[in-house]
Amino acid sequence: MKFIKNHLMFILPLMAILLGIEFYLVFDRTTNSYEKGLKEGYSMLVVTKKPMKLSMFQALNRHISSSEKIKRENIVSEIAKGVSKNSNKEILAALPYFYNVRLDSYLSTSGLEKIKTDLEKDKNVKKVETFGSSYSSSYRLFSFIKFTLKLFIVFMGVVSLFLIIKQMEIWKYAHKERMQVMEIFGAPLMLRSGVLFRVAIVDAFLATLLTTAIFLYIKFQWAANSGIDIMMQNKTELFKMTDIAILLVSALFIVIIAVYSVVFSSKGVEE
């Protein structure tokens, strides 16, 4: 019982860190894909006096990734039904040029305003229409969630790391007698601390295994039946097999740092 308790006291904080790392990865991947969707669904309407090429837009602002000319003929046919062909031509000649302009990234309202100002600096540009307000509120909410989640993950990671080091000190105390005797007989530091490394590495593997199991369950059971669009659409992003390697390397890195910090923070035990 004591054995299990000792290991759980180490595995649980380590799992908390690994869950944090995995949540971060999953959230980052999912939000990136969501951001991509938002970015692709968002465009600005630019009205110009003369035709403009993409390079001309990009020269005004580097965030512009594409421009699509809106066919003026369609507009004329809509607004000038029943008008003669000659009049049609005159209307067409008098009409400015319309462009759907898309951006390369998901920008804040101030970013959008900057693009608008940059475009309006060109005398050829008559009007720029952005759809800032609905965009801004979802962007702010999105940024806030991202920030708080990252903050929470960092905080949880720090607290868990302290718990791991504390548990390592308890182990060291439990193995003190053995390490002391080994030191007296000339065992080098790595040999007498070997037991701490072995236990910590085994627990790192166990924590990785448990965290993987949790995420596989989330991916194949919970997310698939959650009814949450973003989860169901981005199911493949939820847990990738490469994440197991990331988690294992992180777990091993954390436990090795923790063992080293405990082993090297103490002087010779027999004095």
Partner 1 sequence: MSNVINAQHLTLAYDGGAKEIIKDASFTIKKGEFVFITGPSGSGKSTLLKALYGALKPTEGSLVVGGLDLASVGQSKLQELRTHLGIIFQDYKLVNEWSVAKNVVLPLMIAGYSVDVQNTQAQRLLKHVKLSEHADKYPLELSGGEQQRVGVARALSKNPVVILADEPTGNLDDYSSNVIWDLMENACQQLDTTVLVVTHKIPTIFSLPYRHFIIESKGVYEVH
- Binding site residues, partner 1, CB under 8 A: 177-178, 180-182, 184-188, 191, 268, 270-271
Q: How is 116-161 classified by DSSP, letter by letter?
A: HHHHHTSTTEEEEE--HHHHHHHHHHHHHHHHHHHHHHHHHHHHHH
- Closest contact distance (angstroms) between CB of 199 and partner 1 is 13
- Closest contact distance (angstroms) between CB of 186 and partner 1 is 3
Q: Which residue, 187 or 252, is less far from partner 1 as judged by CB? A: 187
Gap between the Cα atoms of 144 and 126, Å rounded? 35
CA 54 to centroid of chain Cα atoms: 30
Q: Which residue, 4 or 241, is less far from partner 1 as judged by CB? A: 4
Q: Which residue, 181 or 249, is less far from partner 1 as judged by CB? A: 181
CB 17 within 8 A of CB 157: yes
Q: Which residue, 37 or 194, is less far from partner 1 as judged by CB? A: 194
Residue with token string 């940024």: 143
Beta-ladder partners of 128: 46
Q: Which residue, 4 or 94, is less far from partner 1 as judged by CB? A: 4
- Closest contact distance (angstroms) between CB of 1 and partner 1 is 17
- Max CA separation in the chain (angstroms): 108
- Closest contact distance (angstroms) between CB of 161 and partner 1 is 28
- Closest contact distance (angstroms) between CB of 184 and partner 1 is 6
The SS3 call for residue 163 is helix
Report in angstroms the alpha-carbon separations of 239 from 18, 101, 242. 13, 35, 8
- Closest contact distance (angstroms) between CB of 3 and partner 1 is 12
**What residue type is assigned to position 151 of the chain?**
L
Tokens of 158: 């720090």
Gap between the Cα atoms of 156 and 266, Å rounded? 27
Gap between the Cα atoms of 89 and 215, Å rounded? 63
Q: Which residue, 89 or 178, is less far from partner 1 as judged by CB? A: 178
CA 36 to centroid of chain Cα atoms: 12
CA 170 to centroid of chain Cα atoms: 36
- Closest contact distance (angstroms) between CB of 264 and partner 1 is 12
Q: Which residue, 229 or 271, is less far from partner 1 as judged by CB? A: 271
